[in-house]
Copies of this chain bind each other. A is one copy, B any other.
Amino acid sequence: MAASTETPEQADGQAALARHAPQPPCPAARPRLRRDAERNRQRILRAAAEVFTERGLEATLDDVARHAGVGVGTVYRRFPDKVALVSELFQDRIDAMVAEAERAHAEPDPWTGLVSYLKYVAETFAGDLGLRQMMMFGAHGGTRTRYARERMRPAVTRLVKRAQAAGQVRADLRATDIPFIAIMLTTAGEYAAQVRPDIWRRYLNLIIDGLRPERDTATPLPVAALTPQELEQMLSAGPGGGAGPGRRFSP
């Protein structure tokens, strides 16, 4: 194979870890690892990213270990527990989310700013089950996600207020409605994950049309609707397609 060019994530991961590590914030505190150990550490982080992103936070550390090609013991030697691993893993993604809320506010057109933010959030959650669970379920690093939401809140409020001041959004919308829209869209996406993962775009457009104070035409709904067969398959399997995190009531 070609000489392995280090992915930016790896280098970046180190920095983020040092900055946000819950226990020892000082990078020097972590002693240099033997080369094989360091390599495994990276493997674990990469595997964890893939597994948690795809299958959600209730994937087991055994899964992560297997996916990384190491033993569970190795995982637990590097990370005190599951929470620590997950928490470290999602830190920069959460930061990116906050940054996007602020970026959207910089958009010249208020309506475009609001819509692009909604789209970004839905897209991000749709593609990252683990991140979604961190932000939308109390679980894992509560302080961390709470802080992220606190930082996002004023940006979203301004986003909504500005669009309303421009008369582009119905006056009775509130900033707290935005997270609900995100939750609803993401849920739709999660249900349809196996069948039509981007069906949420259809409902984003639907909701966007509902957000306007008045309008002459509807923006067309993108992505085909499910066929009745696909719908039946989806409802029979439940969210996540049957194997995923929604498989809650099997007895």
A residues sitting closer than 8 Å to B (CB atoms) are 56-58, 81-83, 133, 135-140, 142, 145-146, 149-150, 153, 170, 172-177, 179-181, 183-185, 187-188, 191-192, 199, 202-203, 205-218, 220-221, 225-228, 230-232, 235-239, 242, 245-251
Q: B210 contacts A176, CB within 8 Å?
A: no
- Copies of the protein in its oligomer: 2
B residues less than 8 Å from A177 (CB atoms): 202-203, 206, 221, 225
Q: A58 contacts B210, CB within 8 Å?
A: no
Q: Which of B173, B213, B250 contacts A221 (CB 8 A)?
A: B173
Q: A138 contacts B238, CB within 8 Å?
A: yes
CA–CA, A3 to B130, complex, Å?
52
Beyond A139-B249, A236-B138, whether A226 also contacts B176 by CB under 8 A is yes
Q: Which of B136, B211, B242 contacts A235 (CB 8 A)?
A: B136
Q: B248 contacts A218, CB within 8 Å?
A: no
Q: What distance in Å separates the Cβ of A206 from its nearest Cβ neighbour in chain B?
A: 4
Nearest B residue to A227 via CB reads B176
B residues less than 8 Å from A227 (CB atoms): 176
Q: B179 contacts A235, CB within 8 Å?
A: yes
Q: Could you pull out 24 A-B pairs where Cβ atoms are within 8 angstroms? A: A57-B249, A58-B249, A82-B251, A133-B249, A137-B248, A137-B249, A138-B235, A139-B249, A145-B235, A170-B218, A170-B221, A172-B218, A173-B221, A175-B225, A176-B228, A179-B235, A180-B203, A183-B191, A187-B187, A206-B207, A208-B210, A210-B211, A210-B218, A248-B248
Q: A231 contacts B139, CB within 8 Å?
A: no
Q: What distance in Å separates the Cβ of A240 from its nearest Cβ neighbour in chain B?
A: 10
Which of A172, A192, A221 has the most chain B CB atoms inside 10 A of its CB?
A172
Q: Which of B181, B207, B211, B249 contacts A140 (CB 8 A)?
A: B249
B residues less than 8 Å from A183 (CB atoms): 187-188, 191
CA–CA, A59 to B220, complex, Å?
42
Q: Which of B153, B213, B220, B239 contacts A228 (CB 8 A)?
A: B153
